[in-house]
Amino acid sequence: MGRRSEGLTAVEEAVAIRRTLADANPDAFLPDLAAVLNNLSLRLGDVGRRTDSLTAAEEAVAIRRTLVGADPDAHLPDLAMALNTISLRLGEEGRREQGLTAAEEATGHFRTLADANAGAHLPDLAAALNNLSLRLGEVGRWAEGLAAIEEAAGLYRTLADANPDAYLPELAMALNNLSNRLGDVGRWAEGLAAIEEAAGLYRALADANPDAYLPGLAAALNNLSVPLGTVGRRGEGLAAAEEAVAIRRTLAATNPHAFLPDLAGSLNNLSNRLGETGRRAEGLAAIEEAVAIRRTLAEANPDAYLSDLAAALNNLSLRLGEVGRRPEGLTAAEEAVAIRRILADANPDLFEPALQQSLAVSGWLKGLAP
């Protein structure tokens, strides 16, 4: 229902009660403690407390591994669920390879469980595949990420056909991610079709329940604007980007911890769309705001946000160059190069292309500078 803070308060109380019970009788209550810790991780993530969320997820996984060692048949589904949750939290903290490892393990477990009991575990397998596609994308394994999300979207479509009330939101989420993965491999027309369907589903859901589904609608609109611009529908792409920024600005005003990163992403995207339509001064203002937000986020959590800051700085350098402020643009480009060089040293497969992009922008600005 979108009442995230109240949900967090409730699960914090549940954790406190179940921890007391598990301390007194671990055989009876450790499974319950692990369950509420997993939920606590999700609720902490809802309000942007990502480090605390990861801590709760790590404890849940540790408990459930112990339980699986004693009785795998009873506790394997719960371990898989906890691994799926921790993979999300690790990805948010910038620990991408560890997040991928957890997602791969979760997907393997759920595939085994679904093979044995599809009715009980197909939704879990779909969720794990969706998450796996995100983690594969984060480490640059685009084709594998696309295969995973195509399978997830197919499963969710089947589930939504049978039970739309339960599974339409999940189908919309999977279509949103499918569009991103199709864009990763240059299949823009197919990606546009997927994100148009996702945006339509999210708009209907948000009309009925804005508190719960406005974040999903904003994400879909943000992603919709990119392929619209790529296929030449620039006015429509700009309109989608502007609506995404408006929604996320409202959400961030209410809950900055949860939604400021999303607002920065939409401002970065809006800057590109404004540049495409010749509104360069407005595009510059949007990217300046995005850089300011991402700089603050990266100072607090560099592992999670340095890459995003470099991307925003790269776009800032382009916008500054377009309006004739070339020395300032070069300064931004050189900062992006410095950050991306560090990232590429640690993970060349993922960040070397971005580094080369920033080097090209820097060279362009140097060539234009007086």
Residue 319: the pLDDT is 95
Q: Under 8 Å CB-to-CB from 115, ≥6 apart: which residues?
A: none
Residue 166: the pLDDT is 94
Residue 91: the pLDDT is 85
The structure tokens listed for 364 are 């362009």
Superfamily of domain 154-265, CATH level 4: Tetratricopeptide repeat domain (1.25.40.10)
What's 325's DSSP letter?
-
Same fold, 1-140 and 154-265: yes
pLDDT category of residue 303 using cuts at 50, 70 and 90: confident
Supply the CATH classification number for the domain 1-140: 1.25.40.10
Residue spans per domain, the chain: 1-140, 154-265, 279-370
Residue 370: the pLDDT is 43
- For the domain made up of 279-370, the CATH class stated in words is mainly alpha
pLDDT tens for residues 99-147? Answer: 999 999 999 999 999 999 999 999 999 999 999 999 999 888 999 999 9
**pTM of the prediction?**
0.82
Our CA angle for 199, 191, 228, nearest 5°, is: 70
- DSSP conformation letters of 1-37: ---HHHHHHHHHHHHHHHHHHHHH-HHHHHHHHHHHH
Residue 369: the pLDDT is 46
Q: At what angle do helices 50-70 and 72-92 cross, to 10 degrees?
A: 160
Give percent of the chain with pLDDT exceeding 90: 84
Q: Is the dihedral of CA 349, 354, 357, 361 positive or negative?
A: negative
pLDDT tens for residues 187-238? Answer: 999 999 999 999 999 999 999 999 999 999 999 999 999 999 888 899 999 9
Higher pLDDT pick, 234 / 92: 234
Alpha-carbon distance 159 to 4, whole Å? 26
pLDDT tens for residues 248-260? Answer: 999 999 989 889 9
Give percent of the chain with pLDDT exceeding 70: 99
Q: Of 44-48, 78-82, 182-186, 274-278, give the lowest mean pLDDT range.
A: 44-48
